[in-house]
Amino acid sequence: MLGFAIVLIVIISSLFAPFIAPSDPNQANRPNRLQPPGSPGHIFGTDQHGRDLFSRVIFGARISLFVGLVTVLIAGTIGTVVGLFSGYFGKWLDSVIMRLVDVWLSFPFILLALIINAILGMGLRNVVITLIITGWVIFARLVRGEVLALKNRDYIQAAKALGQSELKIIFFHILPNVFTPIIIISSLQISQIIIAEATISFLGFGVQPPTAAWGNMLSDGRNFLFNAWWMATFPGLALAFTALGLNLFGDWLRDTLDPKISK
Amino acid sequence: MQRYLVKRIFQMLIVVFLALTAVFFMQFLAGDPVILLLPMDATFEEIAEMRERLGFDDSIFVQYFRFVSRALQGDFGPSLRHPQTAIQLVLSRVPATLELALIAVVVSLLVAIPIGVISAAFRGSWFDQVAIVVTVFGQAVPGFWLGIMLILFFSVTLEWLPTGGRGELNNLILPIITLTAFYAARFARMTRSTVLDVLNTDYIRTARAKGLSERRVLYKHALRNASISIITLLGLQLGQLLGGAVVTETVFYWPGLGRLLVQSLLNRDFPVVFTGVFFIALVHATLNLAVDLFYLVVDPRISYD
């Protein structure tokens, strides 16, 4: 439940960011630059442009959650459909798709994401597209494995004998039975995607300044380690806190929903 | 066995070939390579002349076969930003990455396996509880942030260790801690869950009934059988580490393959990027094959006939 509480805090912070943040996250205030945490009006201090770090961390949660949720929703849908067809129809379709998945997985995830992002160009929209292109394979492989185990069950054979169409069998009889693993992997993937977005932005691709994203804030903070430790510390803490919450939530979901484990 | 080996090598070659094909098409997605080779103020005639000279006027099939035949000889063309060829640059960075990856994997295993085994043996104990919390944290904390925090504490505040670079033993400590935190957590969780599964089997009960010491049951019987999952994860992680230490190498200015690839991407030096990516895919596929073959050594029950 700790995971759920953390996730709830992050969701509320991002939804109500304009009400929680004490100031505009992009408003520069030169005379106020590099103020330490606890200075008047700046609980987390200020950055090299005098912007309030707490406001930027709160607004950064919006970017992270947006990227995490949208990517997992779209990549999950694509991967699920591909996995359903691959597993159900098998034969050459399955061979082709699985070799494609093998090739995809033979490139390190973050490197592939960086290359695609460099090709597509920077910015929030392209980060989401990049992570969808790299993220769907996990869902495809998972769903395909589940379908292989399900497709020879009696109730599927019965549906076939009753003359139901292949599409109806796939979407009405198989899909509902692979929903649990999809939900579990989705919750765990959101944290992976959020960290991936931060990594891409940290390395100079992805979401660009002045938009407040945890990754580019960490990149800025790294350049001021010797005179402003807080600039790298707080965005990173927010990122780690969110990832931890999502992982704990995902583990709890798995323990609760997976009958093999909850036994 | 021989048939399986031939089949597996054939599958590996298909994956490598498809990776090479993916790299070929990535080149075109990255924009006109000729424009990247020429200065910004190049005239239309200069662009046309360069395009013809490099063969970009040929049909896509001709270009593809030329690319594949050159790649098979290790020729991926020149770097756009360095005097060396792309393959020379990539190979020159491999030793640094290999050094980091191998040490990180060995340290991770040395830390993780005892933790995983003890956690499983004393399930629910205080040690197990602490280990679970630490491993959950280890997997959640982003590597690049942990790296920055280590620099902040050990290099900036205490001034004990260098902030980056390569050459001395001191330079290795922080990058290795950064990588080990994540990988040791992952290995420890995997070891704990597989050893727990194995401890519930009949042959472990038999071993205990025979009066074997608990240490012998754990390390000789349980761990040996749990090692299949650990080796699988090890093979996959080593493949990821060889290319995926991108972030750690960047944070610590480690002159390895990952950092070269990030710099090349920022400079849009795509021949180097694609060579590096192909190299990593090749290593990954080879490691997968090696893992499959290693199963035979570890578990005599596995037969591929």
Q: State pLDDT tens for residues A10-24.
A: 999 999 999 999 999
Interface test with A, best of B15, B27, B137, B145 (most A CBs within 10 A): B145
Find, among B180, B219, B225, the residue nearest to B202 by Cα: B225
Q: From chain B, pick out residues whose CB is under 8 angstroms from the CB of A232.
A: 145, 148-149, 152
Q: How far is B211 from chain A (nearest CA, A)?
A: 30
Q: Which residues are within 8 A (CB) of B188 and not within 5 positions of it... i.e. 6 or more apart?
A: B111, B112, B113, B115, B116, B119, B131, B135
pLDDT over 80 at A180, yes or no: yes
Phi and psi (nearest 5°) for A51? -80, 145
* Predicted pLDDT of residue B88: 94
* Predicted pLDDT of residue A236: 94
Tokens 């420890």 found at = B188
Q: From chain B, pick out residues whose CB is under 8 angstroms from the CB of A221.
A: 148
pLDDT over 60 at B244, yes or no: no
Percent pLDDT > 70 in chain B is: 94
Q: How far is B58 from chain A (nearest CA, A)?
A: 23
Query: Mean pLDDT over residues B93-99, rounded?
Result: 92
Condensed to tens digits (0 to 9), the pLDDT of residues B180-227 reads: 998 999 889 888 888 888 888 888 888 888 888 888 888 888 887 777
State the first-to-last Cα distance of chain B, in angstroms, to the nearest integer.
5
Q: From chain A, pick out residues whose CB is under 8 angstroms from the CB of B147.
A: none
Average pLDDT value over all residues in chain B: 85
Q: From chain B, pick out residues whose CB is under 8 angstroms from the CB of A100.
A: 18
Whole-Å CA distances, B39 to A120, B48, B80: 22, 14, 11
Q: Which residues are within 8 A (CB) of B222 and not within 5 positions of it... i.e. 6 or more apart?
A: B117, B120, B195, B198, B199, B204
More confident residue, B28 or A110: A110
Q: What is the ipTM of this complex?
A: 0.86
> Are B265 and A115 a contacting pair at CB < 8 A?
yes
Q: Which two tokens stand for residue A145?
A: 């494995």
* Predicted pLDDT of residue B200: 81
* Predicted pLDDT of residue B305: 53
* Predicted pLDDT of residue B243: 63
* Predicted pLDDT of residue A258: 67
Average pLDDT value over all residues in chain A: 89
* Predicted pLDDT of residue A208: 87
Closest chain A residue to the Cα of B135, Cα to Cα: A244
CA distance A140 to A133: 12
Q: Are A188 and A196 in contact (CB under 8 A)?
A: no
CA distance A125 to A73: 15
Condensed to tens digits (0 to 9), the pLDDT of residues B117-161 reads: 899 888 889 999 999 889 988 888 988 899 999 999 999 999 999
List, as own/partner pairs, every contact residues B44-53 make where C-beta atoms lie below 8 angstroms and the sequence separation is at least 24, other chains included: none
* Predicted pLDDT of residue B90: 94
Q: A33-47, A139-153, B54-68, B134-148: lowest mean pLDDT where?
A: B54-68
> Are A239 and B142 a contacting pair at CB < 8 A?
yes
Buried b (16+ CB within 10 A) or exposed e, A35-67: bebeeeebebbbbbbbbbbbbbbbbbbbbbbeb
CA distance A65 to A156: 38
Name the maximum alpha-carbon separation found in chain A. Answer: 77
Find, among A25, A96, A88, the residue nearest to A57 by Cα: A25
> Are B136 and A244 a contacting pair at CB < 8 A?
yes
Q: How far is A50 from chain B (nearest CA, A)?
A: 21
CA distance B76 to B270: 10
Angle in degrees, 0-180, between the axes of helices A109-120 and B223-244, rounded to the nearest 10: 20
* Band of residue A218 on the pLDDT scale cut at 50, 70, 90: very high
Q: How far is A45 from chain B (nearest CA, A)?
A: 17
Q: From chain B, pick out residues whose CB is under 8 angstroms from the CB of A102.
A: 15, 18
Q: Which two tokens stand for residue A13?
A: 């912070």
When CB atoms are compared, the residue of A107, A114, A243 closest to B281 is: A107
> Are A108 and B246 a contacting pair at CB < 8 A?
yes
> Are B15 and A102 a contacting pair at CB < 8 A?
yes
- What single-letter amino acid sits at B137? F
CA distance A255 to A160: 33
Number of Cβ within 10 Å of residue A214's Cβ equals 30
pLDDT over 70 at A260, yes or no: no
> Are A108 and B19 a contacting pair at CB < 8 A?
no
- What single-letter amino acid sits at B245? A
Chain A residues interacting with chain B (CB cutoff of 8 angstroms) = 99-100, 102-103, 106-112, 114-115, 118-119, 191, 195, 198-199, 202-205, 218, 221-222, 225-226, 229, 232-233, 236, 239-240, 243-244, 247-248, 251
* Band of residue B302 on the pLDDT scale cut at 50, 70, 90: low
SS3 per-residue string spanning A115-143: HHHHHHCCCHHHHHHHHHHHHHHHHHHHH
SS3 per-residue string spanning A135-169: HHHHHHHHHHHHHHHHCCCHHHHHHHHCCCCHHHH
pLDDT over 80 at A61, yes or no: yes
> Are B239 and A108 a contacting pair at CB < 8 A?
yes
Phi and psi (nearest 5°) for B255? -80, 60
CA distance A251 to A20: 30
Fold entry, domain B86-298: MetI-like fold (1.10.3720)
pLDDT over 50 at A263, yes or no: no
* Band of residue A262 on the pLDDT scale cut at 50, 70, 90: very low
* Band of residue B16 on the pLDDT scale cut at 50, 70, 90: confident
Condensed to tens digits (0 to 9), the pLDDT of residues A219-259 reads: 999 999 988 999 999 999 999 999 999 988 888 887 787 66
* Band of residue B25 on the pLDDT scale cut at 50, 70, 90: confident
Domain positions in chain B are 2-71, 86-298
CA distance B65 to B54: 14
When CB atoms are compared, the residue of A108, A222, A247 closest to B148 is: A222
Q: From chain B, pick out residues whose CB is under 8 angstroms from the CB of A114.
A: 246, 261-262, 265
